[in-house]
A and B are shown apart, each in its own frame.
Chain A
Amino acid sequence: MSGALIELHDVSRIYDLGHVQVAALQGVDLEVEEGEFLAIVGPSGSGKSTMMNILGCLDRPTGGTYSLAGTPIAELDDDGLARLRSRTIGFVFQSYNLLPRTSALENVATPLLYQGVSRKDRLARAQVALERLGLGDRISHIPTELSGGQQQRVAIARALVTEPALLLADEPTGNLDSASGAEVMTLLTQLNAAGRTIVMITHDAEVASRARRQVHVRDGRLVA
């Protein structure tokens, strides 16, 4: 196992639409060390979400190699990818993506379900994760009973409950007002200070400036 948590080498993602081929990513080389806070910045349509999907093992590159925590993705089948996601990655989405009609506690406990953790332990760990994010008094609320900022904090609690090596955030502040957005950014900064590796995607330069390193994407390529 070499040092870096994330190693992309000459990665491309080409969508084959039959008549045309769309290169959403092309020749991407990137290394992310453990403990980094990286922002991937770029305009709309530049390939940020495509990058996020590949980093998050939701999608596979069509060219190049990607190793996460020393594991080359190409060697894994779909179940293997699911297992890697379950153990290594926590997702935070722009649109929160909480399970509807499901309490904050059950939402946060869900990733542990797929790790085979017993129900008692799941709920206990979810409770701890929610309390850490200051939502101890909201555990039985369902998403529609929470503000956007609270929902995003529940989503972050869910991403952290498995203690993943990598936290992936796609526009985590995109749907939030500036106050809630700042709150979430403070949270991410604190998490990184505590040692968590974070890769964040954003088109907002100010948000990106909170990260310790930035890479820019343009037309599917990393620039500067």
Chain B
Amino acid sequence: MAEGGGTNVLNENVPVYEHVEVNSKPFHLDSFRDLWLSVLKPEDYSFNQTSGEIEDAQFIEEMGITPETLEELKTICSPDSLRCHSEDEAPDPDVVPADPQLATLKLRKRRLDYKKTLIRDNVGRHDAYANEMEMLSLGRRAEDASDTVPEGEIVLTFNVIYPVLFERFKHVRAYQTLHVLGSQKLTELRDAICCVSDLQVFGEFSNTPDMVPQFISKDHYKSAFFFFEGIFYNDMRFPECRDISSVTREWTKSRDFPEFKTAKMEEATFSDLRVKVGFPYLYCHQGDCEHVLILTDVRLIHKDDCLDRKLYPLLSHKHRVVTRKCCVCHLYISRWITTNDTLAPMDPCLYCDQCFRLLHYDQHGNKLGDFQAYAYVDPGAFN
């Protein structure tokens, strides 16, 4: 272990709370990383294991003890000493022991017993599986050594919260969790955020249902920005990109706001940022699709993490949105939304492709009745 004299708590890049258990003060991510590396020994964050003999020899040397004392320490402090049962009668770890003493186990038992009384036992099952994605990538190594994330790299965790698309779901804060590396560009996160508004197709197609273009909004409207600590990071990678933050910045000029700066999203890496952990920032695309973005964690990468840099940004959580089914068959996911539709039970109304066509067109493809039809992308399409 290295001596800790280097960390000066007064250094503004040592993250501290701004509001306890809510968010940190802003700090520069690359300086934060340097500070950690300056107080640690390389073997503390290395992906490789130091040999046990070297570690033992160092311990004996530094503590001035005999090898026998170390052996004794190993025995006393061995995890075996924590075994709460005799060796031959190992309990089933899947079962809460009968008559538990720990408050936590009593509560777990109560909850499990209550759950058994419920008939619908698959409530919230989607949530329970939500974290499984995380496990798929754990400990993944790059096939090509040159793609291995370097030791001492920082990993950032972002929660990207979906805008409230439907009034009905405004109490659920649906979000996806993405991990990025400090050395990655902001644009890499932008490209990894999936949002239905990127997949929308604009136009009314009731007269030409077969002519729905393949172009989606993502290809049409490429402007977007991140907003961190007073700076708008605009995506300017393509000629058609515009600084869509200018409207906001113009507006703030006539109000009593401090001046906001702009930067290019494709030129900034995450390590360049000076941000607060736990504080809400903004991602805006498609003109007005706004996502609150929270950096929930920054840490040094660990040998058990996914070490293949090509897999970053890494998705570890995705809220499963309930998909909206066709109003006719109640089976397939909706592809069409109609308005002013005399054939529909409600307005607007959702249909799967097949039911939509069977109901609204005759054998020759002629439109029956008067209505407007738009392509519909279900928010659950990403599940």
- Real binding pair: no
